Amino acid sequence: MSTTISKPTTREMQKAYLKRDESYDGVFYLAVRTTGIFCRPSCPARKPLPKNVTYFASTREALFAGFRPCKRCRPMEANGRPPEWVNKLLARIDEDSSRRLTDGDIRKLGIDSARARRYFLKHHGMTFQAYCRARRMGTALDQIRRGADLDEVALGNGYDSHSGFREAFMHTFGKSPGQSRNADCVVITWVESPVGPLLAGANREGICLLEFTDRRMLETQFDVLRKRLDCAIVPGENEHLIKLRKELGDYFAGELRDFTVPLVYPGTPFQKQVWDELLKIPYGRTRSYEEMATRIGHPGAQRAVGTANGCNRIAIVIPCHRVVNKGGKLGGYGGGLWRKQMLLDLEQGKSGLRTLFEESARAPHASENGHNCSPLQSRAR
């Protein structure tokens, strides 16, 4: 999955944030050098001078450049809802995923095709056109598995010839349509959450991916998943993802303690031991890396346990956030320590859900454009 991301021009970004254009939220972030914070383009605070602004394509880039998230517009805590113009595109695809949408079709919707390309590269790891092709291929594979005629599948998914469809299908799945009656794929979708958008994936057996979209290891997780399950990854939905979305909603509402959605988590024998043990940690409780190592029969292997913990591909449901350092200190977390603290606070019934930004701030840092921010403590699991 490609992760090459380009930003709009500086002139376009400056115009967007001066207008507080929320349709650019998620397309870029602006950081204020004089205050050390970064915001969404739509941030309601007083607009900084353009000469003091630096632009980033992702929150990850801003964090690693040393900027702190704004406490007013909360760029790290997006609810995952795409801008309205993206909803319009997604709705058009959902109406008929077999239809090819050209750049001209996109412009007729009042959407700039280059802007769509940047957004889909950033949030889905592929251009808008690649996203549409992947959706068509995912639909085609499902039809083939259900016994549909190959010619009907090819022509029904926007291809003029069987050979063109076969070539595209081979490129996506690594095998011909005729060899794919029993083939599987991983379908991925976005899930909204109070701690930011999550990327969820499932095959026909169950959930195999649930990761924060700004996770540093996300690209690696995709590569490992492809190899472990020997199948392609395409946009889509299935019954397991629908169930996961419902259970996550109940979990964040404090109404669910034990997930029942089926899980698929292939790994090395040691990794499987660690992940199986993670599933045994009770809701609202924590265990140390040292205790985890002892429980799986490898006393003293807490570093190896930490490494396996960091390779967990199904966040929250396989609760790696419940493992802490000896003495109760949080340790690392791929989604950021602020998320780890929020998840533990939720499970332990604490009110207020204090983030590490607030915990670590000895005093509020009043910024030039009206924000109060506190330092980021950690960026890696």
φ, ψ for residue 110, nearest 5 deg: 80, 25
Catalytic annotation present for 185: no
- Cα–Cα distance, 29 to 323 (Å, whole number): 32
Catalytic residue among 39, 43, 70, 311: 39
Q: Parallel, antiparallel, or unpaired for β 365-366 and 372-373?
A: antiparallel
Catalytic residue among 132, 311, 320, 373: 320
3-state secondary structure of 186: strand
Q: Which residues pair with 312 in a beta bridge?
A: none
φ, ψ for residue 263, nearest 5 deg: -120, 145
Catalytic annotation present for 320: yes
Q: How many CA atoms are closer than 13 Å to the CA of 339, on its beta-carbon side?
A: 30
Residue with tokens 């760029």: 75
φ, ψ for residue 51, nearest 5 deg: -65, -20
Residue 181's CB is within 10 A of a number of other CB atoms, namely 12
Cβ(59)–Cβ(339) under 8 Å? no
- Cα–Cα distance, 99 to 90 (Å, whole number): 12
Give the DSSP H/E element, type plus range, for residue 304.
Answer: helix 302-310
Give the DSSP H/E element, type plus range, for residue 63.
Answer: helix 59-64
- Cα–Cα distance, 118 to 129 (Å, whole number): 11
- Cα–Cα distance, 225 to 218 (Å, whole number): 10
Beta-strand (E) ranges in the chain?
Answer: 29-32, 37-39, 53-56, 68-69, 186-191, 198-202, 207-212, 233-235, 287-288, 323-324, 365-366, 372-373
- Cα–Cα distance, 87 to 322 (Å, whole number): 35
- Please tell me the total number of residues recorded for the chain in this structure: 381
Residue with tokens 């607030």: 358
Catalytic center residues: 39, 320
